[in-house]
Each structure stands twice: as structure tokens, then as C-alpha cells.
Amino acid sequence: MNTAAIIVAAGRGTRAGGALPKQWQMLGGVPVVAHSLAAFAGMTRVLVIHPDDRALAEGLGVELVLGGATRAASVRNALEALAGRGVTRVLIHDGARPLVSTTLIDRVLAALDSHAGAAPALTVSDALWTGSDGVVTGTRDRAGLYRAQTPQGFQLEDILAAHRKFQGAAADDVEVARAAGLVVAIVAGDEDNLKLTFAGDFAKAAAILKERDMDVRTGNGFDVHAFCPGDHVWLCGVRVPHDKGLLGHSDADVGMHALTDAIYGALAEGDIGQHFPPSDPQWKGAASHIFLSHAAGRIAERGFRLGNADVTLICERPKVAQHALAMRQALAKILGVTADRISVKATTSEGLGFTGREEGIAAIATATLVQA
């Protein structure tokens, strides 16, 4: 079925304050109505505007229709513009609801498969009062009450006929549809699908957008070092007594190497070898905290923070449990976080493979970075 979206943005929105109507004020660097339009990408889109706003709207790349004296008149103008163009279903959405999700849109469309109309709503959970002159004058039963949202969806022919018959103003298109005898299904709404009405609503919307757009990245690291003669090994920044050492170009801290690579991986910046080439003699025998400190610096430079890190050491010996806390603290200090964001644990390979034969130690690590 061919679905079109009507974005109603002809109002003046004076309660929100500002030099422009609320739908033309900026949110996340673009006008509010641009967010609303983007949610319906891929559909035929008609934007209903006030005549004074044409210059603001012309650069949006969608079909424009002038609004009328009331919201109902504005919607009817858009519906008439869609008539006879092969459109079978229409979604009518408030331009001042910039955070509508594709999931919510899909719920409305799915309900239209079996109903003449469908609209999202949230049940009323708060107690309801009546009031006058700043005092409570009574209460109302909230049972069966809903907070209406948009987009409100309809079969185009049905809602166009309803608007042609309707006289006067209406709160929304569900009111118009019901006046014509259409049955409108209620689908689950979304708390984030708020309508910008007052100045404070913009801060709420900006916070939701930031959370949605937050860049969260996860990287994995893996490293292996063979045993060699020695009396200790370095693991996650801790000197652990052992009857062998670990062979490597640096101090062979297998756990720290795996974690460093996990961070570079989350940043899409390669691995330790690219930043500290083993062919460069200055890194021979280097302490691995140098590498991890560099990776930690790159986290901040790229505008992220470490969410958490998890290191697993794979070996039969040495036993790690008694050193795990010290390892967590050592890694946390280098990374500039508290130890509760760092996990270090160990496992054996049940006698299998090179670790089972005690020929070396392997480590895997995962790091999650969150946009700061």
C-alpha cells in the first residue's frame, strides 16, 4: 500500500517563546520540523505550513501545502492535495513532535491493516483534579483515559470524507474521524514522543536526542605470550612470582596488551603494533603501562570515556585469584577510572592446547567506550 505522511506545522507556537514558531526553532542543530520529517523518510511527505514560513520551509525538499484557519482546515488542505494520487493510507503527525520513532510508526501502520484508523496513546496514570483560582475544586476518575499522540493513521478515502463533512475546530484527527463514525484503534504510545509546547520542553527533547545519538563502542583484544626462563611474570600491571617468565619484545604483559588492543579496536585505531612497532628498538623491554596509557589518552582525545573493561587470563599457572584485586587497581589507575569498572579474572583450558601444556599464557579483553 502507498502511504503518505502529513506533517502539520502551520501553527504559531507562541507558548514556547523564542523569535520563531516552535517548529522552526533549532533542536540538535536543525529545525524541530526537520526531525519530524526525517522520521517518515521513504514516504510521500506533505508539510503543511503557515504562509509566513515559506522561506523557512523551501529548503527541506518536501511538498508544501498552505494551512488553513484551524488545524482541521490545514489537514484537509493536505488531504485534498493527496487525493487522486494513488495514496491509500495517510499518517498525520504534529510537526512539534520531533522524537517519534520508526517503531511507533510501524505500530500505527500495522493497526491500519484491520482498522479504518489507528492512533498512539498513553494511559493516564496520575490523579486528575479540577481547579480554579489556584485551588483544587474536585477530582476526576482516570479510568479509561488516554493521552493522545501522533501520528494518527487512516485510510485516505475515509479520513478525507470525514474532513469534508466536518465543521468547526477539532482537537485532532481522531475527533474528526469519530464524528464520521470511523472506528479508531488505540496503539501503545511512547513517552519520548513528546510534543514541544513550552520552552522547557526543548531541554527535555535535547536530552533524549543526545541519549539516542550517544556513540557507544566495544572493542576486543587477544594476546599470547610464551613462557621462557625466569622467576616472575607481569600480568595486568602486577609482578606475579612464578617459576617461568614470559617471552616478548616488551615486558610481555599479556593481559595489558589484550586490553590495550581492545581499546584501540573500539576506537578503530588498529593495534599496539601499529602504534609501537616491534621493529623499533626503543620499545624493546618497555613496560606495558606505556602502551595502555597511550590508549587511555586516545580515549579522551577522541571524546569518549571508558564504560568498563573486562580481562580474562587463560593459563594453568600461575594462579591469579589472589592478585586479581591488585590487577584491577593497577589497570584502573592507568585508565583513570575506579576499580569497579575493571574486571580481571582467569580460567584454565582444562589441560588442552598450549595453555593447557603450560607453554604460555593467553588473554582476551573487552572494552566499552561511551561518548563523553
pLDDT at 292 over 90: yes
Phi, psi (rounded to 5 degrees) for 247: -90, 130
Give the pLDDT score at 149: 98
- Reading the block at residue 90, the C-alpha cell is 495517510
Dihedral-angle region of residue 351 (phi above 0 means left; psi in -120 to 50 means alpha; beta otherwise): left
Contact of 255 with 330, CB cutoff 8 Å: no
Contact of 264 with 295, CB cutoff 8 Å: yes
Among residues of the chain, what percentage have pLDDT more than 90?
Answer: 90
Q: Give the end-to-end CA distance of the chain in Å, rounded to a whole number.
A: 43
Q: Is 89 exposed, middle or buried (0-12, 13-18, 19+ CB in 10 A)?
A: buried
Give the 3-state secondary structure of residue 329.
helix
Please choose, from the candidates 46, 49, 56, the residue with its C-alpha nearest in 3D space to the C-alpha of residue 20.
56
Phi, psi (rounded to 5 degrees) for 173: -80, -20
Q: Is the dihedral of CA 73, 77, 82, 83 positive or negative?
A: positive
Contact of 104 with 191, CB cutoff 8 Å: no
* Cα-based distances in Å from 167 to 170, 178, 179, 240: 9, 13, 10, 84
Contact of 121 with 71, CB cutoff 8 Å: no
Would you call the peptide bond into 151 cis, given omega within 30 degrees of 0 as the criterion? yes
Dihedral-angle region of residue 252 (phi above 0 means left; psi in -120 to 50 means alpha; beta otherwise): left
Per-residue pLDDT tens over the stretch 93-152: 999 999 999 999 999 999 999 999 999 999 999 999 999 999 999 999 999 999 999 999
Mean pLDDT of 80-93: 97
**Angle of the 289-301 helix axis to the 324-335 helix axis, nearest 10:** 50
Per-residue pLDDT tens over the stretch 326-335: 999 999 999 9
Full set of structural domains in the chain with CATH: 3-213 (3.90.550.10), 216-371 (3.30.1330.50)
Q: Is 295 exposed, middle or buried (0-12, 13-18, 19+ CB in 10 A)?
A: buried
Q: How confident is the model at residue 57 (pLDDT cuts 50, 70, 90)?
A: very high
Give the pLDDT score at 1: 60
Residue with grid cell 514556547, as numbered in its chain: 16
